Chain A
């Protein structure tokens, strides 16, 4: 079973920041937080991952709380093409990813 809890769905206006929360209260010390997304039945796309420090790349930022029990994925300027299902996964590596149900993000004009 997935070790994360995410809201089922969220809406975001185009051009605004999308903040997607994830709870992972049972995360262990050597587990990373990974984010993937799946756009309309395409293959999952890697977004970002982190261990305990906040991370930023060209796609998104990842904010992990100090106790590591939750995190937030931030898409700073959402576009219509960011409409997708976003998966938060905790794992030591990507050898066996356990996907939950994710958050369905709908970006509207």
Chain B
């Protein structure tokens, strides 16, 4: 059983471009979570999704950021018109209902 898979592992974008980060949950996991870790800081919750539903997006910036978890395929975190301050490590986690979450290895986004 593969763990939570995130890709790409590293992503470089120029200011103003779009970044798309993908997360494939562990098999049998219907809940997905996204966290952001800025350099030298702790992890911050962004959003919690179940299949086709956003359950809690209280940690998502109001503009430029969106997330989805479609019926088929991976969860996508999308950042439009990236700025230098978006440079961070983005971690995805997944869990079955009511059980503990497991994290992926993250996508390191660098905005140049």
Query: Which positions in A face B, CB cutoff 8 Å?
Result: 34, 36, 38, 41-46, 49, 87, 93-102
Contacts and interface: CB of A to CB of B under 8 A. Distances in A.
Contact of A102 (B31, B42, B44, B93): B42
Nearest to A101: B42
Interface of B: 4, 31, 33, 35, 37, 42-45, 48, 55-56, 58, 89, 91, 93, 95, 98-106
A44 B48 contact: no
B103 A99 contact: no
B82 to A, nearest CB: 20
B56 to A, nearest CB: 6
8 contacts: A43-B105, A44-B43, A45-B103, A46-B100, A46-B103, A94-B93, A94-B95, A96-B58
Contact of A94 (B89, B91, B100): B100
